[in-house]
Amino acid sequence: MRLIQNMSTIAECTAPEYSVLNRVIKIAVIGGSGVGKTALVVRFLTRRFIGDYERNAGNLYSREVQVDGDQVTIQVQDTPGAEMTDNGISLPDHVSCSIQWADAVVLVYSVTDRRSFELIDQLHQLVVRSGGAGAPPVILLANKADLLHLRRVDSQQGPLLAGTLGCSFYEVSASEDYNQVHGAFHRLCCQLAKQQQQPPTPPPSASGATEKRRSPLIPRPKSPNMQDLKRRFKQALSAKVRTVTSV
């Protein structure tokens, strides 16, 4: 796994020159503070769990993986945590930039933090607004499922919210189960890889129909030089006939 850069320069980040066969999948991870976004990203990309992190600066991570037999570069944008204020949701300006950059968005809340769950609907609205008509696909992750004694969000509320938002839902534990975390991200990567393989639909012609090919039975126009030769030949033949007649 490579740490590419912090999010302050993501707007200037250009895709590296990979080979034609090596596609790039870009994922942004968004959620409240302390829900385990960085832990989930590192767990997915390295299999390791690290319990303590410095304050999230919004790092961009990259790793090459196999998706359905193809070599794919996964770029995951970790983002600073969102906060709920009296005036609504508070987010760093870079988060909107990361949504526009991403091919998909992972929304994260912690089952031990009711406020982080209540943020999800507003974060989803932000994704829809930032993406416009081309809003990226979204999945919803509920983290810290192993902390049963600290649970503040019922296990049925996550799937109900995901159904309302129209996205997939996964309840995982970054600390206890790598397979859960990997499965959620891997399914998303497979979905994106298949979408990238689909050929673009060709735009319709101005008349709304495919232009008809010219029929091979249409005669080719005669060469101007050949027509000129025939005209001169006829003139010469007429002059010869007049000469014979006068004689």
Cα-based angle 90, 83, 107 (whole degrees, multiple of 5): 100
Report if residue 112 sits inside a domain.
yes
pLDDT > 50? residue 174: yes
Report if residue 170 sits inside a domain.
yes
Report if residue 36 sits inside a domain.
yes
Cα dihedral 177→76→140→175 (10° resolution): 20
* Calpha distance 84→96 (Å, rounded): 16
pLDDT > 90? residue 140: yes
Question: 11: Cβ–Cβ under 8 A, 6 or more apart, which residues?
Answer: 94, 97, 101
Q: Report which of residues 150 and 4 the model is more confident about.
A: 150
Range 130-135 average pLDDT:
77
Cα-based angle 200, 206, 212 (whole degrees, multiple of 5): 90
CATH number at residue 53: 3.40.50.300
Report if residue 17 sits inside a domain.
no
Residue 226: what pLDDT? Answer: 52
Our count of domains for the chain comes to 1
Report if residue 142 sits inside a domain.
yes
| Continuous H helices in the chain | 37-46, 93-101, 114-131, 157-165, 178-197, 224-246
Residue 52: what pLDDT? Answer: 76
Range 138-153 average pLDDT:
97
DSSP category for residue 57: -
* Calpha distance 94→107 (Å, rounded): 16
Q: Report which of residues 35 and 234 the model is more confident about.
A: 35
Residue 242: what pLDDT? Answer: 54
Q: Which two tokens stand for residue 63?
A: 């790793």
pLDDT > 90? residue 92: no
For 192, the domain range is: 23-197
Report if residue 220 sits inside a domain.
no
pLDDT tens-digit map of 206-237: 544 444 443 344 344 444 455 555 665 566 66
218 exposure class (CB count in 10 Å sphere: 0-12, 13-18, 19+): exposed
Range 136-140 average pLDDT:
95
Residue 217: what pLDDT? Answer: 41
Q: 20-34, 142-156, 185-199, 212-226 — which is least confidently predicted?
A: 212-226
pLDDT band at 4 (very low <50, low <70, confident <90, very high): low
Report if residue 236 sits inside a domain.
no
